[in-house]
Structure 1
Amino acid sequence: MTAACVFCRIVTGRAPADVVREWDDVIAIRPLDPVTPGHVLVIPHTHVPDVGERPLVSARTMACAAELAAELTAANVITSKGAAATQTVAHLHLHVVPRTAGDDLPLPWTPQQHTAG
């Protein structure tokens, strides 16, 4: 655990969070600014900077995210590695983002994100 890490503080109960589900080693919380209704963050208890570190922790966290995604009709399950990939908190976390047809939530690689050159 890292004292300066907000997700470490959340998983140890030293910072508030709206907990959606808990496993022995992973927690799911509602983000402060959800991008769709039902958006959750899935966070391992172990401090792992990103998905490229400690593959077994990443795999376990993904398994928990998959449990949540299985309950949805459509969803994105997303993580980022590094600032250039939009990672803002250096603690592994996966976004489970429920989707509906026509919700207009763009992803960086969707056509609505690109302008004609």
Structure 2
Amino acid sequence: MSDCVFCKIVSGEIPSNKVYEDDDILCFRDLDPQAPVHVLIIPKKHIASLDDVTEEDKELLGHIMIKVREIAETLGLENGYRLVNNCGEDGFQTVKHLHFHLLGKRKMTWPPG
């Protein structure tokens, strides 16, 4: 999508502080971190939200979930972390490109807000 900020990050049009990248996903540091470690994990394929995932995306989503553990390990999140997906307006999704927030290095509270 030409107007999607995350697609522009994937294409290199907008720079990012990359943490991990492979053929299918990109992980980069959040510009407004809510924890000492706060990265975003996105598929390179544009999917607007979790509500737009189809059966054809199940391998991609499985790949993301497997990589979360590896990324968390490389970031030193040995004492735990939180993985968050905001979906839709009420879920506070501000960028219409599927993404997961990986947060750590601080004690999380519940409910989150």
TM over 0.5: yes
Greater relative CO, 1 or 2 (CA 8 Å, sep 6+): 2
Q: Distance in 2 between matches of 1:67 and 1:51?
A: 22
Q: Structure 2: give runs of 5+ residues left out of the alignment.
A: none
Using the size of structure 2 for normalisation, the TM-score is 0.82
Matches of 1:49 and 1:59 in 2, distance apart?
17
Pairing 1:1-117 to 2, within 5 Å after superposition: 2-52=1-51, 53-54=53-54, 55-56=57-58, 57-70=60-73, 71-72=76-77, 73-101=79-107, 106=109, 109-110=111-112, 113=113
CA distance in structure 2 between the partners assigned to 1:89 and 1:28 by the alignment:
15
- Secondary structure of the equivalent of 1:39? strand
For 2:68 and 2:41, locate their aligned partners in 1 and report how far apart those are by CA, in whole Å.
6
Specify the SS of the correspondent of 2:50: coil
Q: Deviations over 1:31-62 (max 9, x none)?
A: 11111112100011000011231342333222
Q: Percent identity?
A: 33
Q: What SS does the corresponding residue of 1:65 show, helix, strand or coil?
A: helix
What RMSD, in angstroms, separates the aligned Cα atoms of the two structures? 1.8
Name the count of aligned residue pairs.
Answer: 106
Q: TM-score, normalised by structure 1?
A: 0.79
